[in-house]
Structure 1
Amino acid sequence: MIFLNKIALKPYKIRSLKKQHQNRTSSIEIIKARDVWGQTNKGQGVVVAIIDTGVDTTHPDLAGKIIGGYNFTSEDGGNKDIYTDYNGHGTHVAGIIAAENNEMGVLGVAPNCKLLILKILNRFGEGSYNGLISALQYIKRWQGQNGEKVQVINLSLGGPTHKDELYTVIKELHTLGIVIVSAAGNEGDGLSTTDEISFPGFYKETLSIGSINQQLAPSIFSDSHLNIDFVAPGEGILSTHLNGEYVELNGTSMATPHVSGATALALRLIKSCTPPLIPAQIKYYFTKHALKLDFPISLVGNGLIQLK
């Protein structure tokens, strides 16, 4: 997870760097994504916006996934049409959501969905609340060439301060029926009795996502508070990285895109309803199917995301 308005000392840890890797789908299996691919066409028709460090647009697992993008940073001379990732964080997040099944690399949770890339964080993982607010406002206006609209927003970032302007646009997007999935944060101490809070993940209009390890126990670093909604795999997650490579990373930043991808699939499983009810309907679906974990709700919320 990368912080706004300050440098994250350890937003994630690189465990290993791989140029190629056979399909590794353990985290996909944990949330039972593959079980619903046949019913959901793997997220076909859903647009997920990723607000992050940009994306490696030439990565073979991602090149066909990008429907558009915008650069809100000063990198590349501030050219709005160049949203290249020089950090790797956004590329890793993108792969977890939508990496293409090309038999060579990794598989995303919803490999047929499309990605709108909104770059607000620079190569050092630094950004501002104003940049985040601008990107969220952009989503309200954005429309694809064929009338596509954003249905899911992934926010693998956060900051320590509540901002009225940020909360206002979060509520507006929620009312429009857009599901906002946000990282809980990586400042946890492993204790359920202490609260670690970051925004926008603390807002109830978002799905606040914590991390679990391979043993389905809460990650030591995962923030705890009573607004945690769900947990997802966030340790040793292999995904796309810069220069066509792959890395394993840890963090609630990695857990969050599992849920964004799961949301792209779940949108194809729920009954249609008026837009303001869609976020509540998605939360109800996940709550109904979640695997209950024997840990305090301040650490795991309603449990581990399951699609079936």
Structure 2
Amino acid sequence: MATAYQVTGEVLNKNAWEADTNGHGMHVTSTIIRFKVYNLYTVDGVAPGARIIPVKVLSNAGWGFSTDVAAGIMYIARLYKAEEESGGNVLPPTGVVNPMIISMSLGGPGLSLLEKRAIDYAISVGVFIVAAAGNEGEQGMSYPGAYPPVISVGAAGWVGEWSTNGWWRTADVPEDLYGQTYVTTFSSRALPGQDLDVLAPGSWVVGPYTPYGAAHPPYWAQGVPGQYYYLGGTSMATPHVSGALAILLQLDMMDGKIDLNQTLAEEILEGSAYKITWNSAKVYDPTQGKVVEVMWSNNAVGNGLLQIDKAIELFLTLFPSHKQ
């Protein structure tokens, strides 16, 4: 998620994980936990109580090798196995086995055998894995997101984006989502043999972005400095699902044990998603300064848009003893 720790354990980078030198990790992590806006007020994330374990698998420039990704997955898998075997005495809070989610806002054109084995092993020991579907549009999904056992996430947006100044914090998304959601053009479509599970907000997601110790604007910002940027990508959608899964696991842990597994968690997220039955929407594109029509096919929507409240309801239907 960020760039603080080398997976080999050899080096602790001077750049702290909460302000990494690339910016990507900090932005997606803020979606899960929280971020403070100019030290004035705090915007809570999807799961503000989650504990982040940053593991570096990419270079500071944002690229890397499948061997490093596999090593990062194995690091977390072994950490969780040690946590489970110790009865929850490796990570705080002690005395309870803490569930772990690997959230991967990354991807590549193929799945190496090493990555596949690492993913399979991690899932087999009880780790949950969520990954971005990719930003290749009609060219298909990236890996490991396209690998069926992984919970994959595509990017959706809201037709009311940019409707008013400060829309991201003042506008109220309607309760009836019919026609209000669109699939971004960049969100990877599922080709034969690929598995797209759910969509989540991934268009113009605001968050902190200050790599290199100073503002480093995205290309579309035209060099205008700042500390917070709207970024779009399935990378931004992924932490919404990882955070939602963290909430489900918090509820799951009310009886002191973990009942969910990767397969069941995926089924709950898919079964509670809002079905997108339409195939086009008109949205304002600030890069073009006009309203454009966005179109997509069924291979772009997966099982629909993430709904955390419905996922909780479905979980409680399956595990009624967890109701308070």
Shift of 1:298: 1.6
Shift of 1:177: 2.2
Shift of 1:82: 4.8
Which of 4, 7, 12 aligns to 1:80? It is 12
Residue 91 of structure 1 aligns with an amino acid whose one-letter code is M
What secondary structure, in the 3-state scheme, does the structure 2 residue paired with 1:135 have? helix
Q: Distance in 2 between matches of 1:228 and 1:154?
A: 16
1:77-116 alignment runs, 5 A limit: 79-80=11-12, 82=14, 84=16, 85-99=20-34, 104-116=41-53
Which of 113, 131, 137 aligns to 1:188? It is 137
Gapped runs of 5+ residues in structure 2? 80-89, 160-180, 215-226, 280-296, 310-324
Which of 229, 248, 263 aligns to 1:247? It is 229
Residue 117 of structure 2 aligns with an amino acid whose one-letter code is T
Partner of 1:301: 302
1:112-127 alignment runs, 5 A limit: 112-127=49-64
Residue 34 of structure 2 aligns with an amino acid whose one-letter code is A
**Preserved CA contact (<8 Å) 2:252 2:258:** no
Partner of 1:178: 127
Which of 54, 78, 91 aligns to 1:144? It is 91
Partner of 2:274: 291
Closer, same or farther: CA 275–205 of 1 in aligned 2, 3 Å: farther
Gapped runs of 5+ residues in structure 1? 1-49, 55-68, 190-194
Q: Does 1:154 align with 2:103?
A: yes
Shift of 1:241: 2.2
Q: Higher relative CO (CA 8 A, sep ≥ 6), structure 1 or 2?
A: 1
Q: Distance in 1 between matches of 2:14 and 2:98?
A: 21
**Preserved CA contact (<8 Å) 2:249 2:260:** no
Shift of 1:287: 2.3
Q: Does 1:218 align with 2:195?
A: no
**Preserved CA contact (<8 Å) 1:187 1:223:** yes
Q: Does 1:238 align with 2:206?
A: yes
Shift of 1:103: 6.0
The Cα offsets for residues 205-241 of structure 1, whole Å up to 9 and x where unpaired, read as 1111000111311110010115000000101101122
Q: Distance in 2 between matches of 1:154 and 1:82?
A: 23
What secondary structure, in the 3-state scheme, does the structure 2 residue paired with 1:201 have? coil
Residue 112 of structure 2 aligns with an amino acid whose one-letter code is K
Larger of the two Rg values belongs to structure: 2
**Preserved CA contact (<8 Å) 2:249 2:258:** no
What secondary structure, in the 3-state scheme, does the structure 1 residue paired with 2:183 have? coil
Residue 185 of structure 1 aligns with an amino acid whose one-letter code is G
Shift of 1:160: 0.9
Shift of 1:100: 5.3
**Preserved CA contact (<8 Å) 1:290 1:304:** yes
What secondary structure, in the 3-state scheme, does the structure 2 residue paired with 1:217 have? strand
Q: Does 1:256 align with 2:252?
A: no
Residue 12 of structure 2 aligns with an amino acid whose one-letter code is K
**Preserved CA contact (<8 Å) 2:32 2:48:** yes
The Cα offsets for residues 247-291 of structure 1, whole Å up to 9 and x where unpaired, read as 210000000000000110111344879869511221222123211
Closer, same or farther: CA 238–134 of 1 in aligned 2, 3 Å: same
Q: Distance in 1 between matches of 2:8 and 2:59?
A: 7
> Could you tell me the TM-score, scaled by structure 2's length?
0.66
What secondary structure, in the 3-state scheme, does the structure 2 residue paired with 1:248 have? strand
**Preserved CA contact (<8 Å) 1:106 1:240:** no
Q: Distance in 2 between matches of 1:103 and 1:109?
A: 20
Q: Distance in 1 between matches of 2:29 and 2:237?
A: 12
Q: Distance in 2 between matches of 1:154 and 1:286?
A: 15
> Could you tell me the TM-score, scaled by structure 1's length?
0.69
